[in-house]
Amino acid sequence: MSVLFLLYLFVSFVRIESINFVEVTATGETQTYEEQQDAFAPVPVAVVIKNGRSSWVDYYWENPETKELVYQGKIDPRGTTATSSYVGHVFVFTPMKKSTKKAFARIEIKADKNLYILPLGKKNRKEKDLKYYQSLLEEEIFVEEYKKKTGKPIQCIWGGNKSKPKKWLAHYPRSPPILHMWSANHVGQTHHVTSNEYYWTCIPDDITDANAVQQCRDNKPLSITLQVLSTDPKVFQIDNVTSLLCVLECVYHTKVLSEVEADLVISLAKPKIKRSLAGTHGGLVSNTRTSKNTWIDRNEHAVMETLYRRAADILNVSESILYPTKNVEQLQVVIVFPFHQQKQHKLNMSSRVLFASHHDFGADGNPQQRMITLLFYLNNQASPNAGGETIFPKAKDGPLKAHPGKGNAVLFYSMLEDGNADDSSLHAALPVKEGEKWIGMSFPYFRKSCKCFHFVCLCEWQ
């Protein structure tokens, strides 16, 4: 459902600049430090391409160096595709299965434009084609006006000094999300939640044995703090977890997941893990991302049920929506292996970051989109310099880099309160240089559910 596209990066010129990073470390502290970066390395831009024709279209990406056309995939009749691209990159469109000499459109990605509408052909001039095309042009006007209305410029960290208003990237039209979103008014702001989904301190051999379960379960509510790390995009660190109501023997945990809970998620994932493919569709997919992933269902283990419910408390949403048939996918568990040395030397810091940058929403015309990412870190970094941090290169308060350590979590929203998708939520995982990285990701999404009766559909957003 969510389409994450990766494009190779061609860094043409370089200017090294000091950039202040905000880093969240395993001890939960935030600190600012300087790092040398290539200031001109381009930042990916989210691009939405709409096919006005009632016929299939093939599209190609033009390699900026060789001018060779690289097949990307097809676009449905009246369909939409979304990708991450770079200013100046060129895409070429042909009727399906026709030679690239039959290209009918060529678009060059502009800094201030994210919606591209493919022109109609001579054969698509029927009234209903024109009507549909007209609706796309109306959308284009909406998108332009939205940009003017939200004209608050945001500074681009990489890619020079471009000031850009927010763009409309979501499915159009769409209403604001109804799932709760925590506010993020300033860095350091905190929210507190209480969860009755107590810690597991051991895993009973027999989960149906009530006595054994009781011995393995803490019986104190958890107090959990969400602390704002970034206001744009909205990113929170989840920590400061303490058992409430303790009088004599207070157990102070500081993690969202206890040691055994984090270990259990890994052990459930291990047997199932298989090669994960970073990206889909066409020739630009890279094999250099050495990661594998799998999915763990809520009903796979009693502890998973606890974790889903605890996640619901953190997100302030009802646990009853956290099912694959409702608003969440299964928990995705990913292991990332160290980046191969021979591949690493070709790509430097900033290009490596941008290489794997992506959004979690898919603006591919699907009304459903991932709106929340809750990212659990299931193990510690092998050393402080082992890499594997999650980085938000477009964060307005400065690029943000986080690896809060085993058992802790980071929450971010890919959507804005007005229903738009948030371009600033672009993120990447820094390459792991040493050891392995294990994470678990939960993606609650904003969906439209329709009940149809004799061609009359009643739809509601959930």
Per CB under 6 A, residues contacting ligand NAG are 11, 14, 16, 36, 38, 161, 190, 192, 223, 225, 240, 313, 316-318, 348-349
Asked whether 224 and 242 are in contact (CB, 8 A), the reply is no
Contact 226, 237 (CB under 8 A): yes
Q: Rounded to an integer, what distance in angstroms lies between the CA atom of residue 455 and that of residue 376?
A: 43
Query: Minimal distance in Å, beta carbon 241 to ligand NAG?
Result: 8
Which element (helix H / strand E) includes 268? Answer: helix 259-269
Q: Which is nearer to ligand NAG, 285 or 349 (CB)?
A: 349
Residue whose CB is nearest to ligand NAG in the complex, by number: 348
Residue nearer to ligand NAG on the CB measure, 12 or 219:
12
What DSSP character marks residue 355? H
Q: What is each CA distance from 263 to 242, 266, 313, 402, in whole angstroms?
A: 20, 5, 21, 21
Please say which residue, 221 or 282, places its beta carbon nearer to ligand NAG: 221
d(CA 441, CA 410): 10
317 versus 328: smaller Cβ distance to ligand NAG = 317
Name which of 123 and 192 has its Cβ closer to ligand NAG: 192
Residue 143 DSSP class: H
Residues 6+ apart with CB under 8 A from 135: none
- Cβ nearer to ligand NAG, comparing 38 with 129: 38
For the CB of residue 223, give the shortest distance to ligand NAG in the complex, in Å.
4
Nearer to ligand NAG by Cβ, of 4 and 321: the residue is 321
- The number of helices, as runs of H, and strands, as runs of E, in the chain is 6, 27
Residue for token pair 């430090």 = 33
**What are the DSSP calls for 156-212, one per residue?**
-SSSSS-EE-----SSSS-PPP-S------STT-EEEEEE--PPBSS--S-TT-HHH
In the complex, minimum distance from the CB of residue 423 to ligand NAG, in angstroms, rounded to a whole number: 19
| Amino acid residing at 437 | K
Nearer to ligand NAG, 48 or 317 (CB): 317
Letter string b/e over residues 162-173, b meaning 16 or more CB atoms within 10 A of that residue's CB: eebebbbbbbbe
| Positive or negative: CA dihedral 277, 280, 282, 288 | negative
Q: Shortest gap between Cβ of 335 and ligand NAG (angstroms)?
A: 28
How many angstroms separate the CA atoms of 425 and 395, rounded? 8
- Report d(CA 74, CA 59) in Å as an integer: 6
Contact 258, 251 (CB under 8 A): no
Contact indicator for 41, 394 with CB cutoff of 8 Å:
no
Q: Which is nearer to ligand NAG, 9 or 432 (CB)?
A: 9
**In the bound complex, what is the minimum distance in angstroms from residue 205's beta carbon to ligand NAG?**
33
Minimum distance, C-beta of residue 160 to ligand NAG, in the bound complex (Å): 7
Instruction: Return the structure tokens found at 301.
Output: 């283990």
The H or E element spanning position 354 is helix 349-355
CB nearer ligand NAG, residue 240 or residue 379: 240
What is the closest distance, in whole angstroms, from the C-beta atom of residue 133 to ligand NAG in the complex?
Answer: 37
What minimum distance in Å lies between the beta carbon of 272 and ligand NAG?
Answer: 30
H-helix or E-strand spanning residue 253: none
Q: Which of residues 175 and 190 has its CB atom nearest to ligand NAG in the complex?
A: 190
In whole angstroms, the minimum distance from the beta carbon of 317 to ligand NAG comes to 5
The answer to whether the CB of 237 falls within 8 A of the CB of 405 is no
Minimum CB–partner distance for residue 262 and ligand NAG (Å): 21
Least CB distance to ligand NAG at residue 12 (A): 10
